[in-house]
Structure 1
Amino acid sequence: MAQSRDGGNLFAEGGELANPFQDPAVIQHRPSPQYATLDVYNPFEIPEPPQSYEPPAPAPLPPHSAPSQSSRKLSPTEPKNYGSYSTQASAAAATAELLKKQEELNRKAEELDRRERELQHAALGGTATRQNNWPPLPSFCPVQPCFFQDISMEIPQEFQKTVSTMYYLWMCSTLALLLNFLACLASFCVETSNGSGFGLSILWVLLFTPCSFVCWYRPMYKAFRSDSSFNFFVFFFIFFAQDVLFVLQAIGIPGWGFSGWISALVVLKTNTAVAVLMLLVALFFTGIAVLGIVMLKRIHSLYRRTGASFQKAQQEFAAGVFSNPAVRTAAANAATGAAENAFRAP
């Protein structure tokens, strides 16, 4: 290649001479602040503090869709979805049906347990092994219990609440008669002309307490115990009269020995304290009368569901009469006497 004296290219086009220092290979090796060379190094120059390292900004994550219900992991406290509403409703209905059947099985188990205990008592000797436990008297008392009563063992499960309520009603009526006696005593102390009412209050306590237990509570108890139509009829007849008596006790006709509303208002003119006591007794009598009417209707509805009837009551009465040893003995004696008279007649 032909070159000039100063190193230019003699064959350059357009009259331009090539400069060897403009060669890119030479330019990139020239001294610059980025390269520490001896030509540009200055020992007295204060170096600039290095720039702190800044990590590159993270690239944005690509948007992701929400996880599906089936792939999402549930927390321990989050309720699980086991299906649609109809599926949950059917499961709840099945659970309620199972609970209902379980309760029915429990009642049947209790009923079977009660009957098994009755059979065990009968196998050991029947009523001879059942010691009377009512009234609950102490052992040193000369009067012993007269009845055997165990509602949980002798009464079916569906009737135990009704029989217990009637027992509490009898106890409340007895307590009301005792309070009536105290109120009549207070009235007699304030006004001596009320002596007849005080005397009758003593008679009502001594008469109604045992008679109410024997005449309407025990028939009701035996009716539910053995499903006896005859005892049901006895209970309805006597307890209806008892309800009428409860109403008369709440009214409180003066001179009848009942501290009802009328008697309390009459005594209010004489002594306020005694009148307040009699008003409390009248309120007690009123509550007992209302409860007695409600229980009479309730027992009548239960009686109609048991399948009892008047014909069944007649059959039970006839069977009970003819099974009585005294009645059978009297009938045999009467028949024998009639036959002897017939043979002796001419």
Structure 2
Amino acid sequence: MAQNRDGGNPFAEPGELDNPFQDPAVIQHRPSPQYATLDVYNPFEAREPPPSYEPPAPAPLPPPVAPSQSSRKLSPTEPKNYGSYSTQASAAAATAELLKKQEELNRKAEELDRRERELQHAALGGTATRQNNWPPLPSFCPVQPCFFQDISMEIPQEFQKTVSTMFYLWMCSSLALLLNFLACLASFCVETSNGSGFGLSILWILLFTPCSFVCWYRPMYKAFRSDSSFNFFVFFFIFFAQDVLFVLQAIGIPGWGFSGWISTLVVLKVNTAVAVLMLLVALFFTGIAVLGIVMLKRIHSLYRRTGASFQKAQQEFAAGVFSNPAVRTAAANAAAGAAENAFRAP
């Protein structure tokens, strides 16, 4: 094989390049301004300074969006909207209904608890556990208690406060009569012409103290204890008269035995110390009169909510009369006497 004179590749095939370094794959990797290597790097060569740094242009801000109703901040005094009006109204109505049912269930539970305690007391001791305890007299006293009273056990929970207030009202009226007696006594000591008022003050304290307890407090107590319409009517009739008497006591007509406002002004001209004592009694009478009127209205409103009526009171009265053994015996005797007289008549 003849040798290539130009120093070519003697092993090259026909049609191939004689110089392997002329291969395009090698030529493209030769040193060039675009592809520099360490062999052609000259640190002393003058080069153009690099372009100055220019920060990129800021991106344009998005256009402002008008605040919507949902993202608007509420003022402290502006109410929050938690839903439509109908939804809130229905939720409030449902809540009120649940609270009403809960109160009714609590009241029924207290009533059942009270009845259970009564049955337990009756089963344990019979009549001995319900021994009379009022008035609380000592055992050596020849007069024993005449009534049984236990507000926490016999009166429903919703009426216990009212009954207790009426009991305190009775106690205050009795205390006022006692102070009235002392004031009339002092008035009689400084002015002997007030003897009639002093005598009547003794009568009032001896008469009104037990009668007020029996005539209007006990009917009120039994009315709330057993929901008795008849006892409610008795209480309203007598306590209205008692309120009128409270007002008369506060007025204090001279000679009636009451240390009210008029009697205090009369005695003020005679003795200042006695007038001050009577003034305190007059204030006491005035407070009792006001409280009596307020309690009368409150009990009347409670009475209207209990479902009592005049017809029910008549039925209770008739049932009570006919269930009384003494009344039945008297009626039987009267009927027998009338029948005997009818047979004897010619």
Shift of 1:149: 0.3
Displacement of 1:336:
1.2
Give the structure 2 partner of residue 309 of structure 1: 309
Q: Identity over aligned residues, as a percent?
A: 96
Aligned residues of 1:33 and 1:40 also touching (Cα < 8 A):
no
Q: CA deviation at 1:158?
A: 1.1
Q: In the TM superposition, what is the alpha-carbon distance from 1:345 to its structure 2 partner? A: 2.7
Hey, what's the Cα distance between the residues in 1 that align with 2:11 and 2:77? 90
Structure 2 CA distance for aligned equivalents of residues 191 and 283 of structure 1: 22
1:2, 1:192 → 2: CA distance?
178
Q: Judge conservation of contact 1:151–1:163 (CA < 8 Å) in 2.
A: yes
Change (3 A) 1:5 1:307: closer
1:159-174 correspondence runs (5 A) = 159-174=159-174
**How far 1:194 moved relative to its partner?**
0.7
Alignment check: 8 A CA contact 1:196 1:257 kept: yes
Q: d(CA) in 2 for partners of 1:43 and 1:274?
A: 129
Cα offset, 1:314, TM superposition: 1.1
Relative distance call for 1:109 and 1:341 in structure 2 (3 A) is: same
Once the two structures are overlaid, the 10-residue window that deviates more, 88-97 or 334-343, is: 88-97
Cα contact 2:9–2:20 (8 A) shared by 1: no
Q: Structure 1's 58 and 14: CA in aligned 2 closer, same or farther, altered over 3 A?
A: farther
Instruction: Evaluate the alpha carbon distance shift between residue 20 and residue 155 of structure 1 in structure 2; reply closer, same or farther with a 3 A threshold.
Output: closer
- What do the CA deviations read for 1:144-172 (whole angstroms, capped 9, x no partner)? 11100011111111111111110000000
**Equivalent residues in 2 for 1:290-309, closer than 5 Å:** 290-309=290-309
- Matched-pair contact (CA < 8 Å) for 2:198–2:257: yes
Unaligned runs of 5+ in 2: none
- What whole-Å deviation, never above 9, does each CA across 1:290-340 have from its counterpart, x for those lacking one? 110111111111111111111111111111111111111111111111222
Q: Distance in 1 between matches of 2:129 and 2:166?
A: 27
Matching residue of 1:2:
2
Q: 1:26 to 1:77 in 2, by over 3 A?
A: farther
CA deviation profile, 1:233-286 (whole Å, cap 9, x unmatched): 110110000000000000000000000000000000011111011011001000
Query: Which segment is superposed worse, 277-286 or 33-42?
Result: 33-42
- Whole-Å separation in 2 of the counterparts to 1:232 and 1:302: 10
For this pair of structures, how many residues does the alignment match? Answer: 346
Alpha-carbon shift at residue 33 of structure 1 (Å): 38
Q: Describe the shift of the 1:341–1:255 C-alpha distance in structure 2 as closer, same or farther (beyond 3 A).
A: same
Note if contact 1:10-1:17 (Cα within 8 Å) is conserved in structure 2: no
More moved, 241-250 vs 82-91: 82-91
Q: Give how far 1:342 is off.
A: 2.2
| 2:346 aligned with 1:343 | no
Please state how far the C-alpha of 1:138 moved relative to its aligned partner.
1.8
- Alpha carbons of structure 1 residues 239 and 58: separation in structure 2 relative to 1, 3 Å: same
Could you tell me which residue of structure 2 aligns to residue 19 of structure 1? 19
Shift in CA distance, 183/45, structure 1 to aligned 2, threshold 3 Å: farther
Deviates more, 1:336-345 or 1:231-240: 336-345
CA distance in 2, matches of 1:161, 1:208: 24
On the 8 A contact 1:254/1:262 being kept in 2, the answer is: yes
Q: 1:11–1:306: structure 2 CA closer, same or farther, 3 Å change rule?
A: closer
Question: What is the 5 A alignment of 1:1-346?
Answer: 105-123=105-123, 127=127, 129-346=129-346
Query: Offset at 1:30?
Result: 35
Q: CA deviation at 1:182?
A: 0.6
CA apart distance, 1:120 = 2.6
2:230 and 2:316 in contact (8 A); partners too: yes
Distance 1:57 1:344, change over 3 A: same
Q: CA RMSD in A?
A: 9.0
8 A Cα contact 1:246 1:286, kept in partner: yes
